[in-house]
Amino acid sequence: MPADAAQQFPVQIVFAVAKKRYKHALDRNTVKRRMREAYRLNKQALLYDMLNNADRKLVLFISYIGKEIAPYDFFEKKMVKLLTQLAAEAVK
C-alpha cells in the first residue's frame, strides 16, 4: 500500500504472529525476532535503494502463519524472495 509522503523512511513495517497459533509469548517473540533480523539485514540492498530511486514509500504488514517455528535460514530465504518481488512491483 502506498504511504504518506511525509514519512521519514521508505518503508514502515509491522511483524505479527498469531496468538491463536502460538500460545506462548516466547514462541511469538522468537518468530518475530527472526523475521525482523532477516528484514534488517536485507532491506537496504533489496528494497530501500530501489524505493529511493523510484521516490516511493510503503507501509507493510507481514504476518507469519506457519505451524512450527522455522530456523533462521528459512526466514532469511523467504524474506529475500519477498523483498525482491516487492521491490520489482513497487518500481513499476
Task: Please give the average pLDDT of every successive group of 10 residues along the chain, which has 92 residues.
Answer: 70 95 96 98 93 90 95 97 93 80
pLDDT at 19: 95
Q: Which of 42, 15, 32, 18 is nearest to 70 (CA)?
A: 32
Q: What is the DSSP letter of 55?
A: T
The pLDDT score that the predictor gives to residue 86 is: 93
**What pTM value is reported for the model?**
0.87
Q: What confidence score (pLDDT) does residue 3 get?
A: 59
